[in-house]
Amino acid sequence: MSAIAGIIHLKKEPVPFEHGRNIMKSLEKFPADDIQVWHRHNAFIGNHAQWITPESVGEQQPFYDSERQCVITADAIIDNREELFEKLQVERSKQKHMPDSQLILLAYYKWGEESPKHLVGDFAYMIWDERNQKLFGARDFSGSRTLYYYKDHERFAFCTTILPLLSLPGVKKELNEQWMAEFLAIPVNFESVDPSSTTYKQIEQLAPSHSISVNDEKVILSRYCYLMEGNKELKLKSDEEYEEAFRDVFQKAVKSRIRTHHNVGAHLSGGLDSGSVVGFAGKLLIQENKKLNTYSYVPVEVPGLDS
């Protein structure tokens, strides 16, 4: 996954370049295919990119649209590209090489703050509208990508990880004891009761299925979808038809996960779910003359492990 970062001065004062540089330097421990920044007056936007999909290789990020005066930085893999191409009327000649970040930007131009509803995949992104001095972003439905932020009366800063935000002057490393108590007490796979809270009091995270809009000193958080929203009961004639319908959806889901210019790896836990994923993925990759690498792990103290 890539990492995104940015600083917006809410009073329209210049953002010191060293502040942006410190944020990007904190990301250097993560591997990257490319590192780029966009810096203009009261906005600093950065991207610490990993090229995963074929379209992302050599991608310009942050990407600045000089005509619309909007810049986007995104950590995103969009699965419903074909559907979006049709809705956005993207010319066929441009579809093959269009990066997901630019597709997100086109969706924003068409649907505005409703655009996250039309995106399927893993994503966290921010769009800076320079002309209107407005920042807008979103996090995917299941929270597969992360987006943390800090705000005071002068600055709004965001990043994929928490540590870079702590490099900013004035950000206190004050632990959030409520978050820590809930993290230790909740016996399920949730960090805390409040999905926007984090380990530190001054740093928040954008919750899954939410968008964020920042204009002047006003921050608006909106939930753009719900799990059961718009779902209709599926009624078919036989068990065989249900099985076929499931296979079709399952295959589409697996196929979207193997859209990469790299080799593909899969975790084999020994359960039915991972085995099913590997079975479908293997058949699909054969069609592309690609090899599927599988990985399993067990505790090192298991007797007879080396035998």
pLDDT of residue 78: 97
Question: Three-class SS of residue 95?
Answer: helix
DSSP 276-298: HHHHHHHHHHHTTT-PEEEE---
| Burial of residue 215 (number of CB atoms within 10 Å: 0-12, 13-18, 19+) | middle
- Domain assignment of residue 121, yes or no: yes
115 in the same domain as 21: yes
Q: What is the pLDDT of residues 156-189, one digit of tens each?
A: 999 999 999 999 999 999 999 999 998 888 877 6
277 in the same domain as 142: no
47 in the same domain as 18: yes
Residues 154-167: b if buried by 16+ CB within 10 A, e if exposed: ebbbbbbbbebbbb
Q: Other C-beta atoms within 10 Å of 12: how many?
A: 11
Task: In whole angstroms, give the CA distance from residue 125 to residue 107.
Answer: 13
190 in the same domain as 271: no
244 in the same domain as 205: no
- Domain assignment of residue 228, yes or no: no
The total of structural domains in the chain comes to 2
Q: What is the pLDDT of residues 85-109, one digit of tens each?
A: 999 999 999 999 999 999 999 999 9
Instruction: Give the orientation angle of helix 272-286 with respect to helix 239-257, to 10 degrees.
Output: 70
Domain-ending residue, one of 197, 223, 249 = 223
- Domain assignment of residue 234, yes or no: no
- Domain assignment of residue 229, yes or no: no
Confidence of residue 192 (pLDDT cuts 50, 70, 90): confident
- Residue 90 belongs to what domain range? 3-223
Q: What's the CATH number where 59 sits?
A: 3.60.20.10
- Domain assignment of residue 63, yes or no: yes
- Domain assignment of residue 29, yes or no: yes
pTM of this prediction? 0.91
